[in-house]
Structure 1
Amino acid sequence: MSNKSVYVFGPSRTDGAADMKNTLGGKGANLAEMCRLGISVPPGLTISAEVCTVYTEQGADAVRKLIEAEVLAGVAFIEKEMGKKFGNAADPLLVSVRSGSRASMPGMMDTILNLGLNEEAVKGLAAKSGNERFAWDSYRRFIQMYGDVVMGLKPVSKEDHDPFEEIIDEIKEKKGVELDTQLGVDDLKHMVAEFKALIAKRLDREFPSDPWEQLWGAIMAVFESWNNDRAKLYRKMNDIPDSWGTAVNVQSMVFGNLGDKSGTGVAFTRDAAVGEDIFNGEFLVNAQGEDVVAGIRTPQQITLEGSRRWAQLAQVSEDDRRTKYPSMEELMPEIYQQLLKTETALENHYKDMQDIEFTIQEGKLWMLQTRSAKRTGAAMVRVAMEMLEQGMIDEKTAVLRVSPDRLNELLHPVFDRAAIKSARSIANGLPASPGASTGQIVFFADEAEQWVQNGLDVILVRQETSPEDLRGMAAAKGILTARGGMTSHAAVVARGMGKCCVSGAGAIRVDPRARTMTIDGKVYKEGDWISLDGSTGLVYEGKIPTKDADLSGDFGKLMDIAERYKKLAVRANADTPEDARVARNFGAVGIGLCRTEHMFFEGDRIKAVREMILARDEEGRRRALAKLLPMQRSDFEGIFTAMDGLPVTIRLLDPPLHEFLPHDDVNQREMAIEMGLTYEGIKHRVNDLHEANPMMGHRGCRLGITYPEITEMQARAIFEAALNVKAQGITPKVEIMIPLVGTVREFNSQAKVIRDTAEAVFAERGSTVEFMVGTMIETPRGALVADSIGKQAEFFSFGTNDLTQMTLGFSRDDVGKFLPHYLKAGMYEQDPFQSIDQKGVGQLVKMGVNKGRSVRPAIKLGVCGEHGGDPASVEFFHRAGLDYVSCSPFRVPIARLAAAQAAITNAK
């Protein structure tokens, strides 16, 4: 802990700055920075994120003892800046209490507004503002927030509504109004009384009236929210360490609900959905900040251009737009010009797209927040490339601005335009997060997660989403909401996840209790299929075919720049000619893993494989292998052709033979009839092949050593295919990989079969091709004796899937039973099968690299496990000194960008 825990900010004094995010969190650091830039920011104080750790480890009493004196001094500073006293009933200073981690976590933690009100202070606020309705509305909002966040008054079950909202709905229904803004002072007083009675009845305690008790309760609640379920899930999804903690910001309140000259809004310096360089955002007149994101009122656009675009999408006439939904540019032109000047200054200062929050209080603009904006993958790429072209950033910064995993959004199919023309559009919302998705309707987040676990594609349909829906949103293919704008919770979180989202589809009537969605009188039930186009905001009935996305333009420019900086080559794991073509189109410079066994499961091939397995002697096996030879040869010809001039690493047969045989009686009997054998004979052979732990049993090079004719057939197919394509003008670059080697004798045994077969084929054909023989380092012993193996092997490819399994003693087939609990308990920070265990498995990789190069300095070194497409693992492989990584075709661009970022970062 540092000696200082509380940092103040305001016009007369500011302790922090933008480079103090680790201490002040992103919100606190940027509030301080805006003060330093001379921007109007309500004064406040920030309690450092270090205090959150004290709270987690020692509790609230220890925190209060640590920071009480500093908080008292900080509140006195705010009082001096604002000319008001905290707790003064006649002219109360009200504050907001907000979270602020160093990484943006929108909506994941808690906020309390209007803190400091009680029965006496609300009267003083009414008298001072001259607006009694505003005062009582502020009080009811405070009670509702505080009762939920600090006191913990929640719905009893997921089907239940918010108990505070139920009271509001009852009062509105009794009054015959639709909006909260239509309720009068007496209605609000009644609402406050009902809220307090509800709290007393449900929680058996009174709502606190002492402002200092309120403040300390709110501070501790924000610290507590760092460890709520949605925050922990968000951190896990975004690789944010639990140890960071959150800062707490206590800031003087400014009010957007003081009448028609007041308002509140959220804006982006560029379009967060597509990246267009256009200022955009939404605001509400006479509203507080939560009204904009909650979706309870239709927001208005800030710019005239944005308003016209919105009206076109929402099918609102120009006359209605001007009278009912005028833009801020039209309605408040002077404030708009101030906001435009501020957003330009902020983007130029931070040199990144900004997400800003603001309040207008009786004609004065106050900035409440600025931060680097969440954006879709497409926007991420476009903004980086356009800022590079505009001279705002350099190439290295542009490369580092794009999160590699977010490229995933650009690589997958989109709706086919021809199919869209014949599809039936049933609703129109806002294009909150682009992309295309098709799935079955589900109305509850936890059920969406369960459906996906059962292998189904779902669209989560909600009236509006909340942070509690995070798990379901992450699982769903797409998100559809009836309420909310482009800055609603659903929109912002979906963009952050890269999920397709259509928000604010006002024609939709959602009834979660009945599990139905009604549009123009037609009822859609849970399980019905719909399709969303997040780029247009259209909702379609049924399924719609897709086509591949366009990867030219800014994406192509980014990949070209990444190519110039990366050191690691990127290959693909590809088992078919089509996979190879896709990989090459994505920029793969070869195949790092071709799994020959994947070729055995199609058509008549599995029958020939089974004949080989069931054969009683070598002669029988060779007859079956002779049937497989032309099939394998044909596949290799297609792959060599697709990868003309690029290396192709072919792994010899790896899995245990039992995987090719049926294990249930029905399929064993069908197989017996098909192959003209007895059921008893097949059952006996299956039992003979049974292994207690097959992944560590008779597989890999052990198969080839036991049955060298298998290795011989595969080698012959490879060399004959290579010679055939060579005769057609194709340049095959052959690399044959022997799997699961743990001793140099195993390697030499299989290498001899391969080389002897090569000599025989070359002699028969009167032609040759160059080839290499190497091995997979996928057993711990293989890494430990890599120097002895390296004297014979021409390349190593680290099979990190099996290396992880064997090193950790985790069975990939069974790990799901305990690994989620391990991760939740912090036994491992990440799933070691998704991101390499650098401290354990990674050390074996480094050892293998060093030992291999010690005996063969020019040995080629790569990795072919799925870790090759994980950005954090790619960065590790760069530091470990590998030559290439290999991953699935659709992750090739991700690995290329990650490799460039690794080279840039580690060069600093």
Structure 2
Amino acid sequence: EPRGRRDRFARGIAASPGAAVGRIVFSSQAAQASAARGEPCILVRRETSPEDIRGMNCAAGVLTERGGVTSHAAVIARGLGLPCVVGASEIRLDARERRLVAPDGRVFREGDLITVDGTAGEALAGEAAMLAPALDSCFRKLLSWADEMRDIGVRANADTPADALVARQFEAQGIGLCRTEHMFFTDDRLVVMREMIFADSATDRAAALARLLPMQRADFVQLFEIMQGHPVCIRLLDPPLHEFLPHSREGLLELAEALDRPLSEVTRRVEAMAEFNPMLGMRGVRLGVAIPEIYDMQAQAIFEATLEVAGRGDPVVPEIMIPLVSARREVELVKTRIDAVAAAVHTKYGREFAYRLGVMVETPRAALRAGEIAQHAAFLSFGTNDLTQMTYGLSRDDAGRFMNTYVQSGVFPEDPFHILDVDGVGELLLIGAERGRATRPDLVVSICGEHGGDPESIEFCRRAGFDYVSCSPYRVPLARLAAAHLAIRSREQPNAS
């Protein structure tokens, strides 16, 4: 409620819009316990990691001391529709004492009531007055008019069936990015995933993957059914495997007990998997090349889900996307194995099916070598979060510490993680699209980074002739409306295009 009283105690980056009231919790376990009691909570962390996804699923909102608009907390919160404020760097967290200290000296303890305003980027003491959004017939009518005018597609980034339902509610034209790693963080799957990571032999790894296969297949069946024939672009596993492992002593102890291994062995192996630069390490397609059984399992699950849903009368042509590519040979290696899996599934079930293989362009080299890569790809989707990070040499998670100073000093006109840098990153997009289409004229080109929901970034993609943008489900209405505004403006002012 804009006219309500606001007792602000912290200011940060507005990472995910909306507002929520809840009691402070400092851990995912506390968030889960709060949800079990039926009490709304605000998860407060220094920064979130994949281990916190279960806690975020149980929270009403998120507040972090560190991070930027494309940090882990921000991206996950937007996907979940959670109000989120990140980079509130002036607060001091004391997780051991379960308290946070505000810049003005006020102390907030676990259980205290606060409000997170993800639209304004503020945290407020106590319970602020709220207004509910009006998703009524007028809202839907306005967006239907927008769809009649816009000339670029709008898809949603959706990782789970729940995300897909939201995407359909907001009438996205399909899923432009399904990050499969988020399917593995529920308790039952995480245990099996960790068994696979700790497997001592290829046989043990295959046994764990065989247990994950039906879980993945069930996820894809649900996604295909929810999307009802709309395209679904599934990204193969991307993060380094150590992100699925615990790092606290309590977590390591639980893992040792679950795996029936000595704590010393588990600790040693977890420490050995740590990387100095995990965003640049053993992740993405590098996993698919080094441990190809993982992508084999995912491809089999996709193809079997495709046949299951198609058997009920719904046509499905899945799109499989290879992440973090930087060389043509990487695509060749993964494509050869996926084609082999497709042939095996066809032989096993005796039924035909189609699929499209594409590449997520996240490295500058992939953009520059798009002509070669497009020889083996039906589509290129630019992951502008990582592409911006690698082009600038900026950390998505840490740049928030100095970004305001840089913008205020005129170093950057805007935060490049929030609004696409059309001069630098944008030039890589143009080069990649041009070279890719020179090789393959029917190449589908899109972006699936968080810039897909920003109006200025959509304008660039539209002028560049991209086929669609993809953004978090809750940003789909804004993207649809912005695309219509841009189309109308270009017709009124032809030179604007």
**TM-score in same-fold range (> 0.5):** yes
Residues 11-45 of structure 1: per-residue CA shift (max 9 Å, x gap): xxxxxxxxxxxxxxxxxxxxxxxxxxxxxxxxxxx
Residue 456 of structure 1: CA displacement? 7.4
1:611 is matched with which residue: 195, 217, 241? Answer: 195
2:354 is the counterpart of 1:757: no
- State the match for 2:137 in structure 1: 553
Q: Secondary structure at the match of 2:129?
A: strand
Give the deviation of 1:447 after TM superposition: 6.0
Q: Which residue of 2 aligns with 1:595?
A: 179
CA 1:676–1:871 in structure 2 vs 1: closer, same or farther (change >3 Å)? same
Q: Equivalents in 1 of 2:116, 2:270: separation in Å?
A: 43
1:767 alignment partner in structure 2: 351
Summarize deviations over 1:709-730 as a string: whole Å, max 9, x none.
0010000010111111111222
Match of residue 532 from structure 1: 129
Q: Does 1:729 align with 2:313?
A: yes
Any idea what the Cα deviations from partners look like across 1:656-683, whole Å, max 9, x if unmatched? 1110011222211221012101112111
Q: Distance in 2 between matches of 1:747 and 1:598?
A: 23
State the 1:769 CA deviation.
Answer: 1.9
After TM superposition, give the deviation of residue 689 of structure 1 in Å: 1.1
Answering whether residue 474 of structure 2 is matched by residue 890 of structure 1, we say: yes
- Find the counterpart in structure 2 of residue 821 from structure 1: 405
Q: How many residues align?
A: 396
- The match for 2:302 among 718, 730, 734 is 718
- The residue aligned with 1:212 is none
Residues 808 and 476 of structure 1: is their aligned pair in 2 closer, same or farther, counting only changes over 3 Å? closer
1:834 matches 2:422:
no
Structure 1 682/473 Cα, relative in aligned 2: closer, same or farther at 3 Å?
A: closer
- 1:671 corresponds in structure 2 to 255
The code of the aligned residue for 1:474 comes to A
Gaps of 5+ in 2: 1-6, 15-79, 83-101
Percent identity of equivalent pairs: 49
Q: Which residue of 1 aligns with 2:325?
A: 741
Q: What is the CA distance between 1:700 and its match in structure 2?
A: 0.2
Match of 1:844 in 2: 428
1:458 to 93, 109, 115: 115
Secondary structure in 2 matching 1:615? coil
Is the 8 Å Cα contact of residues 114 and 126 (structure 2) preserved in structure 1?
Answer: no
Q: CA-atom RMSD, angstroms? A: 2.8
Pairing 1:430-445 to 2, within 5 Å after superposition: none
Q: CA–CA distance in 2 between the matches of 1:589 and 1:664?
A: 41
Q: Report the Cα distance in structure 2 between the residues aligned to 1:837 and 1:651, rounded to whole angstroms.
A: 24
Match of 1:474 in 2: 120
Structure 1 residue 476 displacement after superposition: 4.7
TM-superposed deviation, 1:690:
1.2
Q: Are the counterparts in 1 of residues 158 and 177 from structure 2 also a CA contact under 8 Å?
A: yes
Note the 1:845-864 alignment, pairs <5 A: 845-864=429-448
Alignment of 1:570-649 (within 5 A): 570-649=154-233
**Counterpart position of 2:246:** 662
The answer for unaligned runs of 5 or more in structure 1 is 1-157, 159-232, 238-410, 414-444, 461-471, 479-526, 535-545
The Cα shift of 1:745 comes to 0.4
Structure 1 residues 890, 449: CA separation in 2 closer, same or farther (over 3 Å shift)?
farther
Distance in 1 (CA, whole Å) between partners of 2:346 and 2:393 is: 43
1:692 is the counterpart of 2:276: yes
2:450 aligns with: 866
SS at match of 1:650: strand
Query: What are the equivalent positions in structure 2 for 1:199-278 lying under 5 Å apart?
Result: none
Which whole-Å CA distance do the structure 2 matches of 1:790 and 1:636 have between them? 26
1:877 aligns with 2:466: no
Q: 1:760 to 1:560 in 2, by over 3 A?
A: same
d(CA) in 2 for partners of 1:766 and 1:891?
Answer: 41
| Shift of residue 892, structure 1, vs aligned partner | 0.4
1:532 is matched by which residue type in structure 2? Answer: A
**Amino acid of the residue matched to residue 818 of structure 1?**
F
Q: Are 2:381 and 2:446, in contact at CA under 8 Å, matched by a contact in 1? A: yes
* Cα distance in 2, alignment partners of residues 896 and 888 from structure 1: 12
Paired AA for residue 793 in structure 1? A
Secondary structure of the 2:358 match is strand
- 1:446-466 per-position Cα deviation (integer Å, ceiling 9, x unaligned): 869998xxx974389xxxxxx
Partner of 2:18: none
Q: Deviations over 1:677-706 (max 9, x none)?
A: 111211121122111100000000000100
After TM superposition, give the deviation of residue 583 of structure 1 in Å: 0.6
Shift of 1:613: 0.7
Cα gap change, 1:473 to 1:554, in 2 (>3 Å): closer
Shift of the 647–804 alpha-carbon distance from structure 1 to 2, 3 Å rule, reads same
Secondary structure (helix, strand or coil) at the match of 2:168 reads helix
Say if 2:383 is the partner of 1:799: yes
Residue deviations 1:760-787 (CA, integer Å, cap 9, x gap): 0111111122110000011000000000
Query: Taking structure 2 as the reference length, what is the TM-score of the superposition?
Result: 0.75
In the TM superposition, what is the alpha-carbon distance from 1:906 to its structure 2 partner?
A: 2.8
CA, structure 1 residues 849+449, in 2 after alignment: closer, same or farther (shift >3 Å)? farther
Distance 1:765 1:670, change over 3 A: same
Taking a change above 3 Å as real, the CA distance of residues 456 and 685 of structure 1, as seen in their structure-2 partners, is farther
Distance 1:828 1:449, change over 3 A: farther
State the Cα distance separating 1:857 from its structure 2 match: 0.8
**Amino acid aligned to 2:120:** A
* Deviation, structure 1 residue 817: 2.4
Quick one: structure 1 residues 449 and 882, their matched pair in 2 at CA, closer, same or farther if it must change by over 3 Å?
Answer: farther
Which amino acid counterpart does residue 384 of structure 2 have in structure 1? T
CA distance in 2, matches of 1:576, 1:646: 16
In structure 2, relative to structure 1, the CA distance for the partners of 1:821 and 1:841 (3 Å cut) is same
* CA shift in 2, pair 1:838/1:629, >3 Å: same
Tell me the distance in 2 between the aligned counterparts of 1:756 and 1:899.
Answer: 40
Contact 1:835 1:873 in 2 (8 A): yes
Q: Measure how far apart 1:477 and its partner are.
A: 7.5
C-alpha separation between the residues in 2 aligned to 1:449 and 1:841?
42
In 2, Cα distance between equivalents of 1:532 and 1:616? 56
How big is the shift at 1:563? 0.8
Q: Is 2:464 aligned against 1:901?
A: no
Tell me how far apart the structure 2 counterparts of residues 575 and 719 of structure 1 sit (CA, whole Å): 18
Counterpart residue type for residue 458 of structure 1: T
- Aligned in 2, Cα 1:448/1:568: closer, same or farther, shift over 3 Å? farther
Paired residues of 1:449 and 1:476 also in contact (CA < 8 A) = no
Distance 2:106 2:407 in 1: 18
